[in-house]
Amino acid sequence: MNIKDLIAIDIHTHAEVSCCQPYDEFGRPYDEAANKYFKFDKRPTIDETIAYYRERKIGLVMFTVDSEHQIGRKRIPNEEVAEAALKNADMMIAFASIDPHKGMMGVREARNLIQNYGVKGFKFHPTVQGFMPNDRMAYKLYEVIADAKLPALFHSGHSGIGTGMRGGGGLRLAYSNPMHLDDVAVDFPDMPIIIAHPSWPWQDEALSVCLHKPNVYIDLSGWSPKYFPPQLVQYANTQLRHKMLFGTDFPLITPERWMKDFESAGFRPEVKPLIFKDNAVKLLGLGE
């Protein structure tokens, strides 16, 4: 990335619409429930998202979510996201998403994406993927990520996906309690772990794990800052100021709205550059 040209780095954006494969109708009920929950219906293509961020001089980390095992919807190829990042390397980084249920095939895919596509991290969504983050099933995949010294980003807390559907669409919220990541941080102490989102209803658990484990970070995506729990803002201003990361969950929240609401959410002026860019630069190794 051309860091000096960017005003911020959004560490949490979604590849919503593929530019090379058709929409998978099997996932429509989940999309419709999420649209209702988030009061949202416009899903941009990967290229449209990149253009949007380029115009605003904001760097972005983009990923898809592999929910093929639990939900059965076809994922956007990791290769498509990675190739887009390679073409826009001045302002974009690709993370990959591989469901741990894929076992050794997932391990093989991860190695290929790191070695041949320049993927710089991995995204997990325990609720949507249907696994406990500390399940040993996932550890061979974590080993590949840790060996490459790359970060692993985990959804935490409530999920808008499945909200309001009968039985929550079969999705279990307990998988995304951030306390499960404490075991992962112990077993992989050199793998950076990013807890995504304010972790309601387990915000205190997330703060505790982040405070206790040097390799754990928190991204502030998925909520407008004006709704952040007060203890999250308190720790972002003090003990965890070097471990908080700007993220939006785009397109569900736009960077304009997030940045505007940030200004009145109680953050100290000196932590703004850390959260908006400096912490991500250090975590992602962009200044090396």
C-alpha 240/C-alpha 118 separation (Å) is: 30
Query: How high is the pLDDT of residue 204?
Result: 98
pLDDT digits (tens, 9 = 90+) for 80-90: 999 999 999 99
Cα distances from 269 to residues 74, 236, 265, 275, in angstroms, run 43, 11, 11, 11
For the entire predicted model, the pTM comes to: 0.96
Query: How high is the pLDDT of residue 29?
Result: 86
C-alpha 255/C-alpha 287 separation (Å) is: 23
Q: Letter for the amino acid at 274? A: L
C-alpha 236/C-alpha 228 separation (Å) is: 11
Query: How high is the pLDDT of residue 40?
Result: 77
User: Coil, strand or helix: which one is 274?
Assistant: helix
CATH topology of domain 3-283: TIM Barrel (3.20.20)
Residues of the chain predicted below pLDDT 70? 288
What is the DSSP track for the chain?
--GGG-SEEEEEEE--B-SSS---GGGHHHHHHHHHHHT-----BHHHHHHHHHHHTEEEEEE----TTTT-PPPPPHHHHHHHHHHTTTTEEE-B---GGGHHHHHHHHHHHHHHH----EEE-HHHHT--TT-GGGHHHHHHHHHTT--EEEE-S--STTTTSGGGGG--GGGG-TTHHHHHHHHSTTS-EEEES--TT-HHHHHHHHHH-TTEEEE--SS-GGGS-HHHHHHHHTTTTTSEE----BTSS-HHHHHHHHTTTT--GGGHHIIIIIHHHHHTTTT-
Tokens coding 165: 């559907």
Query: How high is the pLDDT of residue 213?
Result: 98
Number of other residues whose CB lies within 10 A of the CB of residue 270:
9
Query: How high is the pLDDT of residue 288?
Result: 57
